[in-house]
Structure formats: structure tokens, C-alpha cells
Homo-oligomer: A and B are copies of this chain.
Amino acid sequence: MQMPKPRITDVAQVAGVSTATVSRALTQPDRLSEKTRQRVFDAIRATGYRVNRAARNLRTQRAGAVLVLVPNLGNPFFSLILSSINDVFAANGYSVLVFDSQQPNAADQVVSDYLFNGSVDGVITLDGHMSPTMGETLKNADLLRNVVFCCEWSDTLLLPSIRSDNPLGARLAVDHLVALGHRKIAHVTGPSDNILARVRRSVFEERCTHHGLGIAPDWIIPGDFTLSSGARAAERLITLADRPTAVFCASDEIALSLISRAQQAGLRVPEDLSVVGFDDIEIAGHVQPALTTIRQDRALLGRMAAEELLGRLQSDPSHHAVPISFAPVELITRNTTAPPPGR
């Protein structure tokens, strides 16, 4: 019933040329005479030929694919980044593989698997967890030059990294609350082993100190970026004897569910409690009250990372610079922040 797939020799036969010519028509069309080029393309159309990727990849020692490592595919923060990474690579003839790096050590394992066996030419990892020993292994095989961090990064492993200006973001958030008159500010953190969480927290503390604010230990509430951790944080916040009048959340998801839970408990936002998020996910502007937050340009982050990797894949291997690029962040003032009660 079904025809066998046409191969390059079939096309060559139909066009009356050699396989070398067909191959050249595909990869370097200007090296052929107008006439034969036409004949080859006609033959390709006639036969319905598609180049076999595995064969091409084997011969050229390239995969034409990249891997994107996502800490949590279910998190809407990442989806838009993924989408713009996808756009850039699709436009350049690359396929995009994704992998969810939920389980610990998966990141390491997956990256090295895919790179070593040649499934992909490069990796963009949105997950900053990569062990130095893995980095060493990759470097020894000269595979490290095709790994780019996006959003997150590793302190111990020096690699190109595209990231938002997190310190600025945290500073904008805290300063905004201080400017409104808040003196008692809480912070709900991300996971303690997460680099973004650490940076945001340390800048939070630094700015509070800078403004002469005390930080009760209770006011640093551990979270993990997720909705449910935001709800839990709200429950702790509510019960505090000396309750903060504002809270800076390490992610929008934390902020949104914290608000919801706080409202359930009878607190009014922003009258009783001001809340600032981080990320500006799409829903943030579509709830009541609309969330004041720090915008990260996710599309830009994805695009920059993709272009950085693309450049490395195409440039000559001696290119050894390790750039760190910062994407701008911006305070988006909406309706979850106001002066503290009694002012």
C-alpha cells in the first residue's frame, strides 16, 4: 500500500544527476548551475523527498536540535520563555527538546546524556542546579561551551547566563513599599537552594537594613514559588503577633495565593496588607485587586538565551567568552500596594 520513502539516490536518478549534486542543491544551492538546480528541485518535488535526519546528523556530526531544561513545566512562568526559545530555534531549523528537571540530579544527568550521545547540539537550562563535577566532565569533552543558563544560573559553574536584573527587581519592590510608608515588611522566599530565591532574599534584607528597618526572623517566611506555598505563608503571616503591613513575595504565584488566603481570613489588600510579587505572569493583571509586581520580560529572556546559544553553535569553537546578560526588570504598580493602615 505505502511507497517506501524516497532516498537521495531516487532523487538523483529522477534528476539524472549524482547524489552529490542533490545534496549540494539542498545545502549549497549556489554552487550549482541554474539548470541543474532546477532539475534537482523538480525531482525532489516529484518524488516527495525529505532528507533523512539521522543520516545527515550522523554524517555532519550535528543534531540540529537543542535541549531546554525546565525546572517545572507546570509553572506558567516558564511556558512563555519556552515559547520564545522555540520561536528562535524553529526559525533557524533547529528542533527543541524539553525536559522537566523536577527530580533532583535530573538536570545533570539529562544534560550530559543528551549532549554526550549527540541528541542535541546545545542546552538551555532554566534550572540553575548543575554540579561542578558535571561541569568538569562536560568541559573535558568540550561540551560545556554549548550550555547556556537562562533565568537561573550557577554560582559555582561559570557559564553564559541570561538573567533578569534580580537585585534591581528586589530593590524596586522593597523601595516601593518603603516609599509608601511601610516599616514592617515581610518576605516570602523561594526554595532555599534556588539562586533566584537567595538573591531576592539577600537584596530584601540589604534594602531593609539600608532603610533602617528591623526584620523579625518571623518575617522571612519560607516558600517555594508555588501557589500552595503562598497560601501556607499567608496562614503563618496572619497568626503573627507583630504583623507586617507589607509583604514582598518571591513569585507572583506566591503573591496571588497569599492574597487570596489573607482575604479569606478577613484581611483587606491593600488596605491592611500590601503585597508585591515577582515575575508579572499574565494573570497578575487580571485579578482583583490587580497585582503590583516586578515584571520580567520573559519573551526577551527566552529570545536572548536562544540567540546566545545559536551564536555559540554557529561561531568558531575558539569563542570562549562567558557573557552574562541582564534583561531589564520593571516595577508594575497596580492595586495591591498602598500606604500602611493608619497613615
Interface residues of A (CB under 8 A from B): 1-3, 5, 50-55, 57-58, 63, 65, 72-76, 78-80, 82-83, 86-87, 90, 95-100, 113-114, 116-119, 140-142, 227, 230-231, 253, 256-257, 259-261, 263-264, 282-283, 286-288, 290
Contacting residue for A288 out of B54, B73, B79, B264, CB 8 A = B264
Q: Is the CB of A76 within 8 A of B79?
A: yes
Query: Contacts A50-B116, A79-B75, A286-B260 hold; do A97 and B95 have CB atoms under 8 A apart?
Result: yes
Cβ contacts under 8 Å, A119 to chain B: 53, 95
Query: Contacts A5-B116, A58-B58, A287-B256 hold; do A73 and B79 have CB atoms under 8 A apart?
Result: yes
Report 6 cross-chain contacts, Cβ distance below 8 Å, ordered by A residue. A52-B118, A73-B86, A74-B83, A74-B282, A283-B283, A287-B287
Bound: A63/B53 CA distance, A: 9
Contacting residue for A286 out of B76, B95, B230, CB 8 A = B230
How many copies are assembled? 2
Q: Is the CB of A51 within 8 A of B283?
A: no
Quote the shortest CB–CB distance from A253 to chain B (angstroms). 8
Interface of A is mostly: helix
Bound: A257/B285 CA distance, A: 9
Q: Is the CB of A3 within 8 A of B141?
A: yes
Contacting residue for A260 out of B73, B90, B288, CB 8 A = B288
Query: Contacts A5-B141, A286-B260 hold; do A52 and B117 have CB atoms under 8 A apart?
Result: yes
Q: Is the CB of A257 within 8 A of B230?
A: no
Cβ contacts under 8 Å, A98 to chain B: 82, 86, 96-98
Bound: A312/B117 CA distance, A: 26
Kindly report which residue of chain B lies nearest to residue A144, judged by CB atoms. Answer: B2
Q: Is the CB of A286 within 8 A of B97?
A: no
Q: Is the CB of B76 within 8 A of A100?
A: no
Cβ contacts under 8 Å, A116 to chain B: 5, 50
Q: Is the CB of B290 within 8 A of A260?
A: yes
Quote the shortest CB–CB distance from A113 to chain B (angstroms). 7
Quote the shortest CB–CB distance from A101 to chain B (angstroms). 10
Cβ contacts under 8 Å, A288 to chain B: 259-260, 263-264
Q: Is the CB of B117 within 8 A of A53?
A: yes
Query: Contacts A54-B57, A73-B82, A263-B288 hold; do A140 and B65 have CB atoms under 8 A apart?
Result: no
